[in-house]
A and B are shown apart, each in its own frame.
Chain A
Amino acid sequence: MRNSGFKILTEALTGNKGWKANWRQPTPKSAYDVIIVGAGGHGLATAYYLAKEFDITNVAVLEKGWIGSGNVGRNTTIIRSNYMLPGNEPFYEWSMKLWEGLEQDLNYNVMVSQRGILNLFHNDPQRDTFIRRGNAMRLAGADAVLLDREDVQKMCPFFDFNSSRFPIKGGLLQPRGGTVRHDAVAWGYARKGDELGVDILQNCEVQSFMIEGGVCKGVETTKGSIKAKKVAVCVAGSSGRVMAMAGIRVPIESHVMQAFVSEALKPVIPGVVTFGAGHFYVSQSDKGGLVFGGDIDGYNSYAQRGNLPVVEDVCEGGMAIMPMIGRARILRMWGGTVDMSMDGSPFIDKTHIEGLYFNGGWCYGGFKATPASGWCYAHLLANEKPHEVASEFRLDRFSRGHIIDEKGMGAQPNLH
């Protein structure tokens, strides 16, 4: 069913009775060509691109809850391609390009909103690393602009320029960065995938893998056993637990990441602003809520909730940089389990078990990766070799020493 201006008009005039379910509620078949475990953004995107780009339509996406119940529905919706390292930047830039055409591709308005992302710096060394990063982005064909203090002041007059503990010296702006309506991404991919024949199986939790003689032949689920030629795991925060069922220990720790939204306010914040020195970032949603966050809580956890030290730390950062928000109120705070990898970069790879594939390690920043991750994972599943922009996202990169550590933090996942 296509969305169009005409359709909306006719539906409005006939009581909106003709809108159909966006996806079927199919009963599981006994076997599929590909089973994707996890109907988050990445899983659903993978299914869609498998069907659309690689003609593999006998696909099921298995979700233990409702689609989008994981991090795709909990994140702060920021998209950007402001990475520095060659292992990352081309991938994220390609993802950005896919975002830019996604509405037309999916015939669904996921509200890609490129209002810019600004990273502030406060001293010369920070500026120098931003220049290095900004130049890497430019070399990779992305956009980046270096702002001085006056430029920043023009863009965000409400920052504290007078009494701030860490005076603002300038910032690195990616004008094409921005936000996307997160739930809509899951829904849009699900809807299109379903249309192309993908079975989306909700409330269908994978409980074990059928592994025989080193080959994965399918999965056991809460809805029975389902066979598959290929099983593609894509469970973000549950990566450790799910892969453990296949006897695989992944180089990932699970951490809590909190996020916050304020009551709806008339528009004040132009794009996305990140205040690294204060561990705070913020944007304003189309409804008017300030959507913000900061550091991860720092301890390993599967509980999708956080605690007060980080809540207070984040708000301190917010007040330090924009003291006008003191009288805005936090409406809701929540947490997601993020799959923090040892170098802060992700994996899209085969495992040593034939027929079992892994996608994870997205840390707190995999939402922006959704389109490219889906495409590259589909590419790997279809062609048995990595897509060129994702060729560094290998599970064995630690043993080979080809780490992709943007922040230079080392193998301490809670510091990335």
Chain B
Amino acid sequence: MSQINRISGGLIDRDKTLNFKFDGRVFEGHPGDTLASALLANGQRLVGRSFKYHRPRGIVTAGSEEPNALVQLRRGAHQEPNTRATETELFEGLEATSQNHRGSLKYDLMAVNDLLSPFLTAGFYYKTFMWPKGFWEKVYEPAIRASAGLGRLSGEPDPDTYDKGFLHCDILIIGGGAAGLSAALTAGRSGARVILAEENFRMGGRLIAETLELGGMSGTEWVTETLAELTAMTNLRFMPRTTVYGAFDHGIYGTLERMTDHLSSNEQKPRQVLWRIYSKRAILCAGATERLIAFGNNDRPGVMLAGATRAYVNRWAVTPGQRIAIFTNNNDGWRTATDLTEKGVEVTAVVDTRDGPARVTPSGASVVMGGRIIDTKGRHGIRSLTLSNGQTIPADCLAVSGGWNPNVHLTCHQGGRPVWRDDIAAFTPGDNLPVGMTVAGAANGSLGLAGALAEGGKAGNVATQDIGYSRSNYTAPKTEEEAVGISAFWYVKESRQRSWLDLQNDVTIKDVQLACQEGFSAVEHMKRYTTLGMATDQGKMANVPALAVLAECTNKSIPDTGTTVFRPPYSPVSIGAFAGRSRGNDFRPYRLTPSHDWAVEQSAVFVETGMWLRARWFPQPGETHWRQHVDREVLQTRKSVGVCDVTTLGKIDIQGRDAPAFLNSVYANAFGKLAVGKVRYGLMLREDGIAMDDGTTARLSEKRFVMTTTTANAVSVFRHLEFCRQCLWPGMDVHVISATEQFAQYSVAGPNSRRLLGRLVDPEFDISNEAFPFMACAEITVCGGTPARLFRISFSGELAYEIAVPTRYGDALIRVLIAAGEPFDVVPYGTEALSVMRIEKGHPAGGELNGQTTAHDLGMGRLLSKSTDYIGNTLRQRPGLNFEDRPTLMGFRPVDRSTNLTAGAHIIAKGKEATMENDEGWISSVASSPTLKYSIGLGFIKRGSRRLGDVIRVVNPLKGEDVEAEIVSPHFFDPDGERLRV
């Protein structure tokens, strides 16, 4: 199909033709087109449907404020809902489909909603769908939901990549129109580091959309000349296709750069880049957005903003219609008439709401001063207009100018409130701008070109001087200044037909009036009740006219009515961009243990513990069930020897003269007298007296200790120690540093562990039971001089050691350990076997140290130091943490040994109903013990220690389990610890 509406001129490249598809039909356009301009060029007026009434919708704007022309762009996993055709650059092979209709775009079955509109007024949902009870859930809501939404997600993972970056600059200029380019000239010439960000793919703003002259040049020529100077500056970063979407604290601006959205295929390059721009100063030159005037059926395709009409005609060489009428309350309407006439487009009428003399009259056009359009005709696009004086005007496009709203959004992101200016009938930036921000040009309410150029240039100079650069010379080019001459006019009262304010969400004047009538007269109430301004355009066009209607209803002025709060983003930003590369396996980094590669070689199965990947078990040929791996690893360790990577446990190096006193205060059990060469188990409480973490601390020398924490609490314990050191006891001579990643650490456990170690510990170190007893530690060397630390501690309940070497030797050490263990049939064991053995032994871990239990609950009351004060000592004594009934840690085993216990099950007395009142505790950890050959559990039960031998029920309503179990000591295995000391 030919481009019937293509006219002469414009900034498009006619030498190249681009083919694209809309709703399956093939069209042609040119480089430089947007999807919207290309559709208009081809005479496609109907492009979508509105949200609620499914009314036909056409293109109304030429920019990011577009409420109507939203399409589903691209196909398959690349499809992208709600994409504004007005911002989409045309590329070869572009495919777009229209949204929100059942059946074809032209014959949308959902359009029946429009007939029901008397029932579907603002807030109708709240008043209805309640009868009969239960129908809301089952009938009405599912139906409403089914018709919700506009575009569609593909349901497939987003195939594109997104990047993130940080940029730092002296001055960020937001917007590359007349004001922004002028600001860039002065700021850039001063030598300051400048970033110029422009939403559009082409710099120039209104300059390239209008026919204004400056300094004897056309707008486009001036832009070209200015860009030549700017792009040559090495201190200026030039960012088209870049939206500054939010102003955040401390001069940080959220910014989205679209890298490949304008290409057919992105060739593996990132689709978009999310920048955080750190600026010393920012100059907002974001221009202004035009608004409609409301009148009957003003929502039909063909109704367009006058400024957009000029942009299409001048920049894109497209006329949105063959016979265009104009409706205006200011001088821009006339400028539109002139531009159209110059391009040879027929203007059928100029209807000006103001009284007074006509300006120029295009030939053949009727001019109606003080005129009112009350209605339009044309189902899928206007054909004619009706005036209040009865006149009918033929038109397939109506250019409307209701005045301009400065784009103050970013000035409000940090709580700033705009102020009303009567002379331009619009809100302008208030005085509480984000720190470091100034505003220039139309965004500041200076709607004329001369004002924008002058303000921009000045703002650039002020900002640079402010931060110590010198002023640059700048003379704004001469222009003809024209007053806006607006006389506020919001809607045509004479219209009997519905008059639209929010085109996407279908909010009409009547809806706003009804909201007001029902008491929703606060502006936020009106917004929320009617949904005005909550569509994808965030009400860029609709908000101010709606305020005017509301103000009238409440007999208040517009400034007294106030505005709703502008929130980021200025225009919508894809979630993918915010996420960047942090997705899939890269969502968070993996922390790998030093034996990881070796474990992979052994076909270990891994498990995520926090960010760590740990070997869970090491399957052997012939084994088919994980229980077989675990049972074998446990039994072999208990029988001979096993090795486990325990590097993930937190390691904190503590040094200083006051280190013993420090430990004495952070641990609840006494540490002051720990001898050099000894290790002690430590229990740490939080300030509030609840158990925080446990671990061991070894004294390597007079002034040096090394603490271990649980894997889960490595960070929080370290943070806590730093807090104690810096804030609570700044006078102490003690330093702490996390050394978790500096040492590889392995547990060597089992009756043969000493023998195994004997094969690698260098001979000058005596590790016999006498020389190196239970809870000894030493700095030693292994394998002929490699430094190591040896601790004789045990989590498994066996004769056991932990051996640590600098991380770079970790891989070698695991191989040496396994080789040295060969004569003993050493097994590597994973976290599951580790857990089974600690449960058999009755050591608390995450399930017990869950941040809710006290030392007494854990059966460790006796450990608490009586002689020293320590963190948590005061608050742990509160009655609520000590009453009789508090559940305490016990062991459990099923009466019927063939049944299993489940962690998370609750404890109920026999014969009692399973209710919360009868709840006596819970099972915190379970294991199938290969040693005991039945299921065992640790858990907390009221008055536990006095109920040894009692039988209770372990109930798990989630799985329908109800098992009788016996209360036993939590130390199932070797309760007296004989095996540790041999």
Binding site for B on A (CB under 8 A): 3-5, 7-9, 12-13, 15-16, 19-23, 25, 65-69, 73, 86, 89-90, 103-104, 107-114, 122-125, 127-136, 138-141, 144-146, 158, 160, 163-167, 181, 183-184, 187-188, 202, 262-268, 278, 284-288, 303-305, 307-308, 311-312, 314-320, 323-334, 397, 399-403, 405, 407-411
Contacts and interface: CB of A to CB of B under 8 A. Distances in A.
Contacts of A12: 118-119, 121
A287 B514 CA distance: 21
B582 A158 contact: no
Contacts of B149: 264-267, 287-288
Given A135-B906, A163-B585, A305-B414, A288 B150 contact: yes
Contacts of A320: 579, 582-584, 587
A266 B162 contact: no
A173 to B, nearest CB: 10
B509 to A, nearest CB: 13
Nearest to A12: B118
Mostly helix, strand, loop or mixed at chain B's interface? loop
Contacts of A405: 690, 851-852
A244 to B, nearest CB: 21
B385 interface: no
Contacts of A266: 81, 148-153
Nearest to A268: B153
Interface in B564-610: 565, 567-569, 572-576, 578-580, 582-588, 590, 607-609
A143 to B, nearest CB: 10
Contacts of A312: 164, 274, 578-580
A314 B575 CA distance: 10
A259 B151 CA distance: 22
Interface in B149-174: 149-158, 160, 162, 164
A156 B136 CA distance: 24
Nearest to A69: B524
A16 B512 CA distance: 12
23 contacts: A22-B520, A68-B525, A107-B130, A109-B136, A263-B82, A264-B82, A286-B141, A286-B145, A287-B148, A304-B415, A305-B414, A305-B567, A311-B578, A319-B579, A325-B158, A327-B80, A327-B160, A330-B572, A332-B567, A400-B878, A401-B880, A405-B852, A410-B688
B579 A123 contact: no
B582 A139 contact: no
Interface stretch (B221-229, B628-636, B913-921): B913-921
Contacts of B150: 263-266, 288
A164 B572 contact: no
Given A123-B608, A318-B579, A408-B850, A16 B958 contact: no
Interface in B616-658: none
Contact of A132 (B141, B249, B518, B906): B906
A167 B587 CA distance: 12
B916 A136 contact: yes
B81 A328 contact: yes
Contact of A267 (B145, B582, B878): B145
B236 interface: no
B572 to A, nearest CB: 3
A140 B916 contact: yes
B862 interface: no
Contacts of B254: 308, 311
Contacts of B146: 267
B24 to A, nearest CB: 19
A329 B572 contact: yes
B79 interface: yes
Given A86-B919, A268-B155, A327-B78, 11 more contacts: A20-B517, A128-B847, A135-B956, A139-B918, A163-B585, A165-B590, A166-B608, A263-B572, A266-B151, A319-B576, A327-B576
Task: List 8 tightest A-B contacts by C-beta distance, closest first.
Answer: A408-B851, A131-B904, A326-B158, A401-B878, A288-B149, A401-B880, A326-B576, A315-B578
A288 B148 contact: yes
B138 to A, nearest CB: 11
A329 B535 CA distance: 12
A407 B904 CA distance: 15
B904 A134 contact: yes
Given A109-B125, A165-B587, A5 B131 contact: yes
Contacts, number: 362
A23 B129 contact: no
Nearest to B845: A125
Contact of B79 (A109, A284, A327, A402): A327
B583 A323 contact: yes
A63 B414 CA distance: 23
A108 B136 CA distance: 12
A410 to B, nearest CB: 5
Contacts of A4: 131
A104 B133 contact: yes
B568 to A, nearest CB: 5
Interface in B234-270: 246, 248-249, 252, 254
A312 B154 CA distance: 23
A184 B689 CA distance: 43
A139 B538 CA distance: 46
Nearest to B565: A334
B880 A403 contact: yes
A284 B585 CA distance: 26
A70 B860 CA distance: 46
A127 B904 CA distance: 8
Interface string B909-928: 00000111011001011000
A27 B145 CA distance: 41
B958 A164 contact: no
B869 to A, nearest CB: 18
B16 interface: no
Nearest to B157: A323
A169 B384 CA distance: 62
Contacts of B88: none
Nearest to B716: A415
A164 B882 contact: no
Contact of A328 (B153, B609, B922): B153
Contacts of B689: 401
A136 B121 contact: no
A285 B144 CA distance: 11
A265 B81 contact: yes
B98 interface: no
A16 B514 contact: yes
A66 B128 CA distance: 25
Nearest to B164: A312
B851 A139 contact: no
Nearest to A93: B916
B365 to A, nearest CB: 37
Contacts of A303: 414-415
B137 A16 contact: no
A164 B574 contact: no
A128 B925 contact: yes
Contacts of B933: none
Contact of A109 (B127, B151, B519, B528): B127
